Amino acid sequence: MPDGIGILTYHSAINYGAVLQAYALQRSIDEMGGRATLLDYRPDAIEDQYRVRGYRKCSSLRNFGAHNLNSLCRRRRRRGFTRFWREHLSLSPRCTKETIGAVAADYRCLITGSDQVLNPACHRGDTTYLLDFATEQKKFAYAASMGSLAGFAAWGEKPLSLLADFSAISLREGDAAAYLSELLGRECPHTVDPVWLLSPTEWESLATAPREKGDYILVYNLMNYPYMRALADKLSARLGLPIVSISKSILGDARYRGTRIRSNASPEEFLGYIRGATCVLTDSFHGTSFSILFERPFFTALDPGEDNTNSRLLSLLQATGLANHAVYPGKEPLGVGEADFTAAHARMQGAIERSRTFLQAICH
Protein backbone atom coordinates (compact mmCIF):
# COMPACT_ATOMS: atom_id res chain seq x y z
CA MET A 1 0.00 0.00 0.00
CA PRO A 2 1.29 3.50 -0.79
CA ASP A 3 2.26 5.39 2.34
CA GLY A 4 3.94 8.61 3.38
CA ILE A 5 3.80 12.01 1.73
CA GLY A 6 5.70 13.10 -1.37
CA ILE A 7 6.73 16.76 -1.68
CA LEU A 8 7.54 18.48 -4.96
CA THR A 9 9.41 21.75 -4.68
CA TYR A 10 12.67 23.47 -5.74
CA HIS A 11 14.84 21.53 -3.31
CA SER A 12 17.74 21.25 -5.79
CA ALA A 13 18.10 24.96 -6.51
CA ILE A 14 21.40 26.41 -5.28
CA ASN A 15 19.40 28.96 -3.37
CA TYR A 16 19.35 29.30 0.41
CA GLY A 17 15.64 30.03 0.71
CA ALA A 18 14.65 27.19 -1.60
CA VAL A 19 16.60 24.47 0.19
CA LEU A 20 15.77 25.70 3.70
CA GLN A 21 12.03 25.92 3.04
CA ALA A 22 12.17 22.38 1.61
CA TYR A 23 13.98 21.20 4.75
CA ALA A 24 11.44 22.95 6.97
CA LEU A 25 8.38 21.50 5.22
CA GLN A 26 9.77 17.98 5.29
CA ARG A 27 10.77 18.25 8.95
CA SER A 28 7.42 19.76 9.97
CA ILE A 29 5.48 16.96 8.29
CA ASP A 30 7.75 14.35 9.89
CA GLU A 31 7.12 15.90 13.31
CA MET A 32 3.38 15.55 12.66
CA GLY A 33 3.83 11.87 11.85
CA GLY A 34 3.40 12.26 8.10
CA ARG A 35 6.71 10.71 6.96
CA ALA A 36 7.70 13.08 4.16
CA THR A 37 10.01 12.51 1.21
CA LEU A 38 11.11 15.08 -1.36
CA LEU A 39 10.59 13.94 -4.94
CA ASP A 40 14.04 14.30 -6.48
CA TYR A 41 12.86 15.98 -9.68
CA ARG A 42 15.46 18.28 -11.25
CA PRO A 43 14.19 19.72 -14.54
CA ASP A 44 16.39 21.62 -16.95
CA ALA A 45 14.62 24.84 -16.00
CA ILE A 46 16.27 24.58 -12.58
CA GLU A 47 19.52 22.80 -13.44
CA ASP A 48 20.38 25.03 -16.42
CA GLN A 49 20.82 27.95 -14.04
CA TYR A 50 23.95 26.29 -12.63
CA ARG A 51 25.40 24.29 -15.53
CA VAL A 52 28.18 25.48 -17.79
CA ARG A 53 26.53 26.38 -21.11
CA GLY A 54 27.67 26.37 -24.71
CA TYR A 55 27.63 29.63 -26.62
CA ARG A 56 24.53 28.64 -28.62
CA LYS A 57 22.51 28.32 -25.41
CA CYS A 58 23.34 31.87 -24.36
CA SER A 59 21.70 35.07 -25.53
CA SER A 60 24.97 36.88 -26.17
CA LEU A 61 28.72 36.64 -25.79
CA ARG A 62 28.45 38.67 -22.60
CA ASN A 63 25.81 36.29 -21.23
CA PHE A 64 28.00 33.30 -22.21
CA GLY A 65 30.95 34.68 -20.26
CA ALA A 66 29.00 35.85 -17.22
CA HIS A 67 26.94 32.67 -16.85
CA ASN A 68 29.85 30.26 -17.17
CA LEU A 69 32.13 32.29 -14.94
CA ASN A 70 29.36 32.33 -12.34
CA SER A 71 28.91 28.54 -12.63
CA LEU A 72 32.63 27.95 -12.12
CA CYS A 73 32.97 30.42 -9.23
CA ARG A 74 29.98 28.94 -7.38
CA ARG A 75 31.25 25.35 -7.38
CA ARG A 76 32.22 25.57 -3.71
CA ARG A 77 28.73 26.80 -2.83
CA ARG A 78 27.26 23.84 -4.73
CA ARG A 79 29.42 21.41 -2.74
CA GLY A 80 27.96 22.84 0.47
CA PHE A 81 24.44 22.40 -0.87
CA THR A 82 25.17 18.85 -2.06
CA ARG A 83 26.36 17.93 1.42
CA PHE A 84 23.25 19.57 2.94
CA TRP A 85 20.95 17.53 0.67
CA ARG A 86 22.77 14.36 1.63
CA GLU A 87 22.76 15.00 5.38
CA HIS A 88 19.44 16.75 5.96
CA LEU A 89 16.92 15.86 3.23
CA SER A 90 15.05 12.63 2.61
CA LEU A 91 15.02 12.22 -1.16
CA SER A 92 13.23 9.81 -3.47
CA PRO A 93 15.11 8.11 -6.33
CA ARG A 94 16.03 10.67 -9.01
CA CYS A 95 13.16 11.10 -11.45
CA THR A 96 12.34 12.79 -14.74
CA LYS A 97 9.09 14.06 -16.19
CA GLU A 98 8.61 10.61 -17.71
CA THR A 99 9.32 8.63 -14.52
CA ILE A 100 8.01 10.87 -11.74
CA GLY A 101 4.55 9.31 -11.89
CA ALA A 102 5.96 5.85 -11.14
CA VAL A 103 8.16 7.18 -8.33
CA ALA A 104 5.25 9.15 -6.82
CA ALA A 105 3.05 6.03 -6.78
CA ASP A 106 4.81 5.01 -3.56
CA TYR A 107 3.13 7.86 -1.63
CA ARG A 108 -0.46 8.11 -0.45
CA CYS A 109 -0.66 11.86 -1.12
CA LEU A 110 1.39 14.60 -2.75
CA ILE A 111 2.16 18.21 -1.85
CA THR A 112 3.47 20.87 -4.20
CA GLY A 113 5.11 23.85 -2.53
CA SER A 114 6.18 25.95 -0.92
CA ASP A 115 8.27 28.44 -2.91
CA GLN A 116 7.23 29.76 -6.32
CA VAL A 117 5.78 26.55 -7.76
CA LEU A 118 2.91 28.55 -9.29
CA ASN A 119 5.29 30.94 -11.04
CA PRO A 120 5.77 29.78 -14.65
CA ALA A 121 8.81 32.03 -15.03
CA CYS A 122 10.69 29.86 -12.52
CA HIS A 123 10.09 26.50 -14.22
CA ARG A 124 9.22 27.50 -17.81
CA GLY A 125 5.58 26.60 -17.38
CA ASP A 126 6.30 23.02 -16.27
CA THR A 127 2.94 21.62 -15.14
CA THR A 128 4.74 18.81 -13.31
CA TYR A 129 4.74 21.26 -10.39
CA LEU A 130 0.94 21.16 -10.58
CA LEU A 131 1.14 17.38 -10.05
CA ASP A 132 -0.25 16.59 -13.51
CA PHE A 133 1.35 13.12 -13.29
CA ALA A 134 -0.69 12.02 -10.25
CA THR A 135 -3.54 9.62 -10.98
CA GLU A 136 -4.55 7.98 -7.69
CA GLN A 137 -3.16 10.16 -4.90
CA LYS A 138 -4.81 13.11 -3.24
CA LYS A 139 -3.09 16.37 -4.22
CA PHE A 140 -2.39 19.41 -2.08
CA ALA A 141 -0.58 22.74 -2.40
CA TYR A 142 1.05 24.21 0.68
CA ALA A 143 2.03 27.91 0.84
CA ALA A 144 2.50 27.99 -2.92
CA SER A 145 3.63 31.30 -4.44
CA MET A 146 2.81 32.80 -7.83
CA GLY A 147 5.57 35.38 -7.90
CA SER A 148 3.08 37.81 -9.42
CA LEU A 149 -0.63 37.56 -10.18
CA ALA A 150 -0.05 38.81 -13.72
CA GLY A 151 2.54 36.10 -14.39
CA PHE A 152 0.16 33.38 -13.22
CA ALA A 153 -2.74 34.82 -15.23
CA ALA A 154 -0.60 34.80 -18.39
CA TRP A 155 -0.01 31.05 -17.92
CA GLY A 156 -3.49 30.35 -19.28
CA GLU A 157 -6.38 28.08 -18.35
CA LYS A 158 -4.56 24.74 -17.92
CA PRO A 159 -3.14 25.56 -14.46
CA LEU A 160 -6.63 26.32 -13.19
CA SER A 161 -8.03 23.06 -14.54
CA LEU A 162 -5.23 21.13 -12.83
CA LEU A 163 -5.63 22.99 -9.53
CA ALA A 164 -9.37 22.35 -9.56
CA ASP A 165 -8.54 18.67 -8.92
CA PHE A 166 -6.60 19.41 -5.71
CA SER A 167 -8.07 18.37 -2.37
CA ALA A 168 -6.84 21.57 -0.70
CA ILE A 169 -4.73 24.56 -1.71
CA SER A 170 -3.02 27.20 0.39
CA LEU A 171 -0.99 30.18 -0.78
CA ARG A 172 1.99 31.99 0.72
CA GLU A 173 0.79 35.52 -0.11
CA GLY A 174 -2.50 37.04 0.94
CA ASP A 175 -3.27 38.60 -2.44
CA ALA A 176 -2.64 35.27 -4.21
CA ALA A 177 -4.91 33.47 -1.73
CA ALA A 178 -7.76 35.90 -2.42
CA TYR A 179 -7.15 35.77 -6.18
CA LEU A 180 -7.15 31.97 -6.47
CA SER A 181 -10.08 31.60 -4.06
CA GLU A 182 -12.17 33.73 -6.41
CA LEU A 183 -11.00 31.96 -9.57
CA LEU A 184 -11.63 28.46 -8.19
CA GLY A 185 -14.78 29.33 -6.24
CA ARG A 186 -13.51 27.84 -2.98
CA GLU A 187 -11.40 28.89 -0.04
CA CYS A 188 -7.64 28.80 -0.64
CA PRO A 189 -6.24 29.98 2.70
CA HIS A 190 -3.16 32.06 3.30
CA THR A 191 -0.47 29.99 5.09
CA VAL A 192 3.05 30.80 6.20
CA ASP A 193 6.24 29.84 4.42
CA PRO A 194 7.59 26.56 5.87
CA VAL A 195 10.58 28.27 7.51
CA TRP A 196 8.09 29.78 9.98
CA LEU A 197 6.88 26.33 11.03
CA LEU A 198 10.18 25.67 12.84
CA SER A 199 11.15 27.54 15.98
CA PRO A 200 14.16 29.88 16.18
CA THR A 201 15.75 27.30 18.47
CA GLU A 202 15.44 24.61 15.78
CA TRP A 203 17.06 26.92 13.24
CA GLU A 204 19.84 27.87 15.64
CA SER A 205 20.69 24.19 16.09
CA LEU A 206 21.26 23.97 12.32
CA ALA A 207 23.30 27.17 12.00
CA THR A 208 27.10 27.22 11.87
CA ALA A 209 28.88 30.08 13.59
CA PRO A 210 30.42 32.54 11.09
CA ARG A 211 34.17 32.92 10.89
CA GLU A 212 33.94 36.72 11.23
CA LYS A 213 35.54 38.29 14.26
CA GLY A 214 33.57 41.13 15.80
CA ASP A 215 30.38 42.84 14.69
CA TYR A 216 29.33 43.28 11.07
CA ILE A 217 26.50 44.28 8.75
CA LEU A 218 25.26 41.43 6.57
CA VAL A 219 24.04 42.19 3.06
CA TYR A 220 22.21 39.29 1.43
CA ASN A 221 21.81 40.42 -2.17
CA LEU A 222 19.87 38.74 -4.97
CA MET A 223 18.96 41.45 -7.46
CA ASN A 224 21.98 43.81 -7.46
CA TYR A 225 20.01 47.04 -6.95
CA PRO A 226 22.47 49.97 -7.10
CA TYR A 227 20.54 51.84 -4.40
CA MET A 228 20.93 48.89 -2.05
CA ARG A 229 24.73 49.10 -2.19
CA ALA A 230 24.50 52.82 -1.45
CA LEU A 231 22.30 52.09 1.58
CA ALA A 232 24.74 49.44 2.77
CA ASP A 233 27.60 51.92 2.65
CA LYS A 234 25.57 54.47 4.61
CA LEU A 235 24.71 51.89 7.26
CA SER A 236 28.36 50.89 7.47
CA ALA A 237 29.41 54.49 7.99
CA ARG A 238 26.64 55.11 10.52
CA LEU A 239 27.44 52.04 12.60
CA GLY A 240 31.18 52.02 12.03
CA LEU A 241 31.03 48.34 11.02
CA PRO A 242 32.35 46.33 8.08
CA ILE A 243 30.01 44.77 5.50
CA VAL A 244 29.84 41.02 4.97
CA SER A 245 28.11 40.27 1.66
CA ILE A 246 26.45 37.16 0.27
CA SER A 247 25.27 37.53 -3.33
CA LYS A 248 23.44 35.27 -5.72
CA SER A 249 25.91 35.83 -8.56
CA ILE A 250 29.42 37.02 -9.24
CA LEU A 251 27.89 40.19 -10.66
CA GLY A 252 26.65 40.79 -7.14
CA ASP A 253 30.13 40.08 -5.81
CA ALA A 254 31.45 42.72 -8.19
CA ARG A 255 28.88 45.24 -6.94
CA TYR A 256 29.97 44.55 -3.36
CA ARG A 257 33.68 44.60 -4.03
CA GLY A 258 35.56 46.01 -1.09
CA THR A 259 33.35 44.10 1.38
CA ARG A 260 33.99 40.73 3.00
CA ILE A 261 32.47 38.48 0.33
CA ARG A 262 31.10 35.18 1.66
CA SER A 263 28.92 34.16 -1.28
CA ASN A 264 30.00 30.50 -1.25
CA ALA A 265 28.63 29.91 2.24
CA SER A 266 26.82 26.63 2.90
CA PRO A 267 23.15 26.76 3.99
CA GLU A 268 24.22 26.25 7.62
CA GLU A 269 26.80 29.06 7.33
CA PHE A 270 24.18 31.32 5.72
CA LEU A 271 21.98 30.87 8.79
CA GLY A 272 24.96 31.59 11.02
CA TYR A 273 25.79 34.82 9.20
CA ILE A 274 22.25 36.11 9.71
CA ARG A 275 22.12 35.02 13.34
CA GLY A 276 25.47 36.71 14.08
CA ALA A 277 24.84 40.00 12.26
CA THR A 278 24.47 43.33 14.01
CA CYS A 279 22.16 44.43 11.19
CA VAL A 280 20.88 42.77 7.98
CA LEU A 281 20.09 44.46 4.68
CA THR A 282 18.44 42.16 2.15
CA ASP A 283 16.13 42.04 -0.86
CA SER A 284 15.22 38.42 -0.10
CA PHE A 285 11.99 37.00 1.35
CA HIS A 286 13.88 34.31 3.25
CA GLY A 287 16.62 36.71 4.28
CA THR A 288 13.89 38.85 5.82
CA SER A 289 12.20 35.83 7.42
CA PHE A 290 15.37 34.60 9.11
CA SER A 291 16.26 38.11 10.27
CA ILE A 292 12.93 38.22 12.11
CA LEU A 293 13.19 34.64 13.38
CA PHE A 294 16.67 35.35 14.79
CA GLU A 295 15.56 38.82 15.98
CA ARG A 296 18.27 40.67 14.10
CA PRO A 297 17.80 44.37 13.24
CA PHE A 298 17.08 44.50 9.51
CA PHE A 299 15.94 46.38 6.44
CA THR A 300 14.23 44.87 3.39
CA ALA A 301 15.03 46.43 0.02
CA LEU A 302 12.12 46.47 -2.43
CA ASP A 303 12.28 46.17 -6.21
CA PRO A 304 11.83 49.71 -7.59
CA GLY A 305 10.58 48.45 -10.98
CA GLU A 306 6.92 48.48 -12.00
CA ASP A 307 6.80 44.76 -12.87
CA ASN A 308 7.97 43.38 -9.53
CA THR A 309 7.30 40.61 -7.02
CA ASN A 310 7.27 42.84 -3.93
CA SER A 311 3.96 41.34 -2.77
CA ARG A 312 5.68 38.42 -1.05
CA LEU A 313 7.96 40.79 0.90
CA LEU A 314 5.19 43.24 1.73
CA SER A 315 2.85 40.44 2.78
CA LEU A 316 5.44 39.21 5.30
CA LEU A 317 6.29 42.67 6.60
CA GLN A 318 2.62 43.56 7.05
CA ALA A 319 1.88 40.24 8.77
CA THR A 320 4.65 40.86 11.30
CA GLY A 321 3.81 44.54 11.78
CA LEU A 322 7.23 45.54 10.43
CA ALA A 323 6.24 47.33 7.21
CA ASN A 324 8.38 50.30 8.24
CA HIS A 325 11.47 48.14 7.62
CA ALA A 326 10.92 48.27 3.85
CA VAL A 327 13.31 50.57 1.98
CA TYR A 328 13.44 51.73 -1.62
CA PRO A 329 14.90 54.66 -3.58
CA GLY A 330 13.84 57.82 -1.78
CA LYS A 331 13.15 56.00 1.51
CA GLU A 332 16.35 55.46 3.42
CA PRO A 333 16.54 53.37 6.58
CA LEU A 334 16.00 55.14 9.87
CA GLY A 335 17.96 54.01 12.92
CA VAL A 336 19.69 50.64 12.77
CA GLY A 337 16.71 48.40 12.01
CA GLU A 338 15.72 47.58 15.57
CA ALA A 339 12.21 46.21 16.03
CA ASP A 340 9.74 44.90 18.56
CA PHE A 341 10.36 41.27 17.70
CA THR A 342 8.24 39.99 20.59
CA ALA A 343 5.22 41.68 19.05
CA ALA A 344 6.19 40.45 15.57
CA HIS A 345 6.34 36.82 16.72
CA ALA A 346 3.04 37.23 18.57
CA ARG A 347 1.40 38.57 15.41
CA MET A 348 2.63 35.55 13.45
CA GLN A 349 1.49 32.96 15.97
CA GLY A 350 -2.10 32.73 14.78
CA ALA A 351 -1.03 32.29 11.15
CA ILE A 352 1.52 29.65 12.15
CA GLU A 353 -1.11 27.69 14.08
CA ARG A 354 -3.59 27.86 11.18
CA SER A 355 -0.83 26.65 8.86
CA ARG A 356 0.00 23.76 11.16
CA THR A 357 -3.69 22.81 11.24
CA PHE A 358 -3.75 22.79 7.42
CA LEU A 359 -0.74 20.46 7.31
CA GLN A 360 -2.00 18.22 10.12
CA ALA A 361 -5.18 17.56 8.16
CA ILE A 362 -3.00 16.23 5.31
CA CYS A 363 -0.85 14.12 7.63
CA HIS A 364 -3.70 12.30 9.39
Q: Residue 174 is part of a domain; what is its CATH number?
A: 3.40.50
Name the pLDDT band for 76 (thresholds 50, 70, 90): confident
Whether 26 and 103 map to the same domain: the answer is yes
Whether 194 and 251 map to the same domain: the answer is no
Asked if residues 322 and 159 have their Cβ atoms less than 8 Å apart, the reply is no
Whether 151 and 205 map to the same domain: the answer is no
Alpha helices, H only, the chain: 16-31, 44-47, 61-73, 75-88, 100-104, 120-123, 149-153, 158-163, 174-184, 200-206, 226-239, 250-255, 267-276, 285-293, 311-320, 341-363
Whether 225 and 188 map to the same domain: the answer is no
User: Is residue 57 scored above 80 in pLDDT?
Assistant: no
**Spatial distance between the Cα atoms of 282 and 302, rounded to a whole number of angstroms:** 9
User: Is residue 287 scored above 90 in pLDDT?
Assistant: yes
**DSSP 3-state assignment of 261?**
strand
> Is residue 345 assigned to a domain?
no
Angle between the 285-293 and 311-320 helix axes, to the nearest 10 degrees?
A: 20
- Region 214-220 average pLDDT: 97
- Region 100-118 average pLDDT: 96
> Is residue 151 assigned to a domain?
yes
Asked if residues 1 and 37 have their Cβ atoms less than 8 Å apart, the reply is no
Q: Which domain does 112 fall in, by range?
A: 5-198+350-363
Number of separate domains in the chain: 2
DSSP 7: E
Specify the amino acid at residue 3: D
Name the pLDDT band for 53 (thresholds 50, 70, 90): low
Whether 258 and 128 map to the same domain: the answer is no
Whether 45 and 193 map to the same domain: the answer is yes
> Is residue 339 assigned to a domain?
no
Whether cis (ω within 30° of 0) applies to the bond prior to 114 is yes
Whether 206 and 289 map to the same domain: the answer is yes
CATH number for the domain that contains residue 254:
3.40.50.2000
DSSP 129: G
Whether 283 and 355 map to the same domain: the answer is no
Whether 30 and 165 map to the same domain: the answer is yes
pLDDT tens per residue across span 164-210: 999 999 999 999 999 999 999 999 999 999 999 999 999 999 999 98
Whether 82 and 214 map to the same domain: the answer is no
Name the average pLDDT for the chain. 93
Whether 132 and 146 map to the same domain: the answer is yes
Percent of the chain that is helix, strand, coil (3-state, to 5): 45, 15, 40
Q: Which of 5-9, 43-47, 270-274, 282-286 has the least mean pLDDT? A: 43-47
Supply the pLDDT for residue 207: 98
